Structure 1
């Protein structure tokens, strides 16, 4: 009996170190698993943060694109508002002109011989200069009105207006309405954002018709276009020229407002 007890005790003594070793190994393995779980959890959190940043970036890009589209729409609307204002002013001016009665022409009678009009410098032609037939005033006005009509706010067919005014200037280069046609041609180009062609039209107006009542508006629009093209110093000089030459005009107030905006938007 004592021998059996001694045998059991001996076996327990022999197995005890192995149990301790196994317990220690299990504990170390559990600690390693816990560290791995923490690392996996940290990586998961980082992935979620990266996904959130990507989503935020996409949202910001969408907002930037929307703002760019909105800004472009505002610029186009601003151009159309300027054109609408000019159209209203032009309509008022045309109304005042239409109230002026035409001067009646003297008609020859049988008792009054017809004396041929003396030749003037305007009737003389130089070699190589184009000769234009006398224009029908009614048809001339009708052609101008047809081109001008495409600018009405209910139509806004600017390409048709451009074609109409260009054809008018070719057909009636000596017309009293040529300066108006050049101005509205420039406006039509301006609204369609063809800044180069708009500048060419306004420059031609300023060169060929320096005393036209459209000159202040042409200078103002040149300032706008130069500013839009990034030529801010040239734009400031042009707008300041409007203020210096036409201080009491409506375009001077518009030039002043644009200069103030340019100063605050640096």
Structure 2
């Protein structure tokens, strides 16, 4: 009995560690199983959250996608309108350029029509003044008659000019040529009166010496040698060194 009891005790002693090791493996397995369960539960929760988040994102992205599509459509519409407006602007620019060109052409045409009617600057006998087109034409026509020797018509034309344009810048020149036309017509008395009026009002005129010489010639034609000598002497004294003064000296010598 003692031997059997001892054997049992010894067996029990030797059997104790094996049971303890077995117990520890079960605990580990349980821990692993529990850990796996927790991991799976966490994964399940994470998947659910991910799915929920994805669904939420999709829900939020869907309106955004629609908004982007609407925005792109609006952009396309705006681009089409901009292209249309650009084309309209280009057409307006062409129309404006055509209008400006037409206006410029019309302006030039009007200017060309009215330019002959505008006053023009004239330089005559060292003086400058403004004259109208008709005024200038009438003056040149009258002077043309004098140069052609049509003295009777020239006298009428020059007198008509003085009557129509009494304040003209041509007045002094008209009076000078009127005296010459009267001389050519042999209206010596009228010529003397015209030359005297010209000289009295224009003693500093470039043609004053010529007018005084012509006056002396008229006096000579009328046999007024005394008056002619006085006129020639006045010419030589008033306008020395001029061609008229030189001619006056020759005429004065001939009269003596």
TM-score (norm 1): 0.46
Looking at CA atoms only, which structure, 1 or 2, has the larger radius of gyration?
A: 2
Higher helix share: 2
